[in-house]
Amino acid sequence: MSLLDGHVAVVTGGSSGIGRGISLAYAEAGADVVVCDIREEPKEGGRPTHETIESETDASATYVELDVTNPAAFEDAMDAAEAFGGVDVMVNNAGIWRPEEFLEVTEDEFQQMMDINLKGVYFGAQAAAKRMVETSGGSIINVSSVNGIFGNGGYPSYTASKGAVRTLSYSLAHGLGEHGIRVNAVHPGAIKTKIGPEEMETSDEQTAQLEQMIPLGRQGEPDDVAGVAVFLASDLSKYVTGESLVVDGGWTSWR
């Protein structure tokens, strides 16, 4: 594939899970990738994402340690992209998830969720857009969740943060379109990653029950989301902006 030849992508949360899947798919499609995360090693184990890209594809990659709650830190990622030619694809993927009891959520717990899941997206998009304005365009992809579309009483803070990412994406698409910058949201469903607390890993029985609710009969893999991210980064979607693409095996279609 060469859909992304000549493109330079910055991916937050790129060391593990969905972010790793997107980073690898971008490299396979020809893009150079700046992998950003607070940790270099994948949670799933194995070689770091940027090293895998460099050894298994023809693309170039580098790792930048980045805490998305610090807006100033995004400049390091943008500068790293300049070494490859400048960012034209920004994937705001970094996030956290945990179940909560609404009546017991503290202000600090709520703020942590918003700082990572929403503030990180907001200022990641801003940092990339400033560079993209100078180079006449690009694609910003914000990873939300199916919980950003419908409410879930078991994850009130997470749902609030992801719903905000959805509408923020619409606002940015409207405001940045005149600069040739497209902004879209991706809403994954049940994807096999290690985003949640270790103690929340599901049993085989729970997994079977979950998969019974998904029309395609299985949980998603990171590369299921990555394929959509490649589409949104490429010229195949050059007239697509301000959209939400749901990647959930049909789970939300009958809710």
Answer yes or no: 162 catalytic. yes
Class of residue 242 by CB neighbours under 10 A (exposed 0-12, middle 13-18, buried 19+): middle
| Distance separating the N- and C-terminal Cα atoms of the chain | 36
Strands (E), the chain: 8-12, 32-37, 61-65, 89-92, 138-143, 181-188, 244-247
Answer yes or no: 144 catalytic. yes
Of residues 144, 234, 237, 244, which has the active-site annotation?
Answer: 144
Answer yes or no: 194 catalytic. no
The position carrying tokens 């607390």 is: 197
Whose CA is closest to 238, among 134, 131, 139? Answer: 139
Q: Rounded CA gap, 128 and 86, in Å?
A: 10
Of residues 15, 139, 157, 162, which has the active-site annotation?
Answer: 162
Of residues 158, 169, 234, 237, which has the active-site annotation?
Answer: 158
Active site residues: 144, 158, 162
